Amino acid sequence: MRRSNYIVAGLGNIGLELVKRMSKDVEVTCIDLDPETERKVKDVREDALFVHGDATSRLVLEKGGVAEADAVIVTIPDEKVSIETARLVKEHFETKRILAIAATQAGVEALEELGAEVENIFASSAISIRNKLEQTSRTAHAIGLGKDEILEVEVHPNSRLANRPLRTLTPVRWRIGIIYRDENIVVPKRDTVLKPKDKVVILGDPPVLKTVAEIFSFKFQQFPLEYGSTAIACLTGDEDESFFSELDYLFSVFSLSRMVYILSRKAAGKQQEIQQYMTKENIRNAEVITKDLPPFQAIKEALKEVRGDQGLIVMPKFHARKTFLRRTGIAEKKRMLYSLISMAHCPVLLTGGSFPYEKVVIPAVEQVNLQFALETAMEISQSLNNEVTVLVVNPSKYISSDDDIHSFEFMKKTINDVSSMYKISIDKKTLSGNPVKSISQALPEYNLFIADARKWKEQGWLMSALNPDVLWHIIREAGISTLLLPLMEEYL
């Protein structure tokens, strides 16, 4: 009885696992560009044949015996290469079946037009593809995200994503597909913890994926490309020359490729003056969006036109303090700023004119806020080569609870751990007394204040008086440029 003959093109983790799990009653031929892959194939299946070459070459496909194959399974991570391989098989060979993985709606449609059976990259596994080979019905899957790149990256032990559950990540414009651990496939769930040496398939926008891959692999990325490459500056009409000078400085030190000015209602009447500032500072690739709305509503509307590429929102600190933080009630002030950070999913910089950012400061007021702020400061220091200081306040021996003392010790340990991990010295300055007062008095010595806003307390005036949100009060009092980090919401 004739044995079935299968061709596997692309021997990444899915392809290798598929070869490993295929029945011994079938003949398997593997095609891959990497000659080192042959050894891996032989390790999982000794009788498998291996053809070294490009699967988008008709000659390579002929050498692999595609014309006589019962099925060609394309498990190449690059969707464009996968589609081209399927096209060649369809047009030049009379192969009975083509199976392929895809990650975008366009890729799914292109492969289905070629008669391929398409497997969702997020749901696909060696077992599901093997089972598909053994069944007669055809099923197509699609995720419909409209993205166009997939990468596989290994989690470095020192990555800030290592040893963290997926529910704590912020996958904006990227997603985790499959996790490979010790030659096993782990289906990503909210409580799945990423472990060092895990191989993770990620999908999303190419510019964002590159930066995210660097985070996984612990190669220092250029802030703020993890979020996007566009800076958005909200103008109220009260900005002076120093605001635009700070914008120019931001472009000189951060990897931003595009600047978008949002002219809110009042600023729209001062376009000529604003244009003079823009011309003087020579802000490159500047675009202007005019909205006859108050500042925060104007930002919300303009974000739709930026289409998710915002990496940093910039607004003057005097505006945030005088117009925004002082004309409304305390709870409303915080709610609006919290809403902006949550909606934009990127850092918000309140400029205070305290550039260049030679001295960065982080207040250690809550252990849940500290590590992410520290890691961001470390990444920024790769571009600025600046000093990083953490302000810690000794707990009072009279009123501090055991939990307060434990939190204080944990924060000191976190500072040491992050410093060792990034191999950058972090200065600890210990203060005493009221945290809001002591930290606020120390801030003028520094140029950039970094705070993680994800654990701001939702409080009315009564609760704010009885149980004050320390970090929020420090932010309100800070006179230097302040970088507010986005909320770590659950997107998976």
Q: Is the pLDDT of residue 287 over 90?
A: no
Quote the mean pLDDT of the chain: 80
- What value does the mean pLDDT take over residues 132-159? 57
- pLDDT tens-digit readout, 197-222: 898 888 877 767 777 887 787 655 56
- Give the whole-angstrom CA distance, residue 244 versus residue 24: 68
Q: Is the pLDDT of residue 481 over 90?
A: yes
Residue 475's pLDDT is 87
Of 169, 6, 21, 14, the C-alpha closest to 78 is 14
Please tell me whether the overall predicted TM-score, pTM, comes out greater than 0.85 for this model: no
DSSP letter string, 390-425: EEEEPPPTTT--HHHHHHHHHHHHHHHHHHHHHT--
Q: Domains of the chain (ranges plus CATH)? A: 5-133 (3.40.50.720), 150-217 (3.30.70.1450), 230-351 (3.40.50.620), 359-485 (3.40.50.620)
- Give the whole-angstrom CA distance, residue 449 versus residue 373: 10
Amino acid at 378: M
Compare 375 and 195 and report the one with higher pLDDT. Answer: 195
Question: Which of the four pLDDT bands, split at 50, 70 and 90, describes residue 398?
Answer: low
- pLDDT tens-digit readout, 225-261: 878 888 999 888 878 888 888 988 888 888 788 888 8
% pLDDT > 70, the chain: 80
pLDDT-wise least confident of 58-67, 132-141, 440-449, 467-476 = 132-141
Residue 118's beta-bridge partner residues? 100
Compare 439 and 95 and report the one with higher pLDDT. Answer: 439
Compare 426 and 464 and report the one with higher pLDDT. Answer: 426
Contact 296, 340 (CB under 8 A): yes
DSSP strands (E only) in 44-142: 49-52, 71-74, 97-102, 117-120
- Give the whole-angstrom CA distance, residue 364 versus residue 361: 10
Contact 427, 390 (CB under 8 A): yes
- What value does the mean pLDDT take over residues 312-323? 68
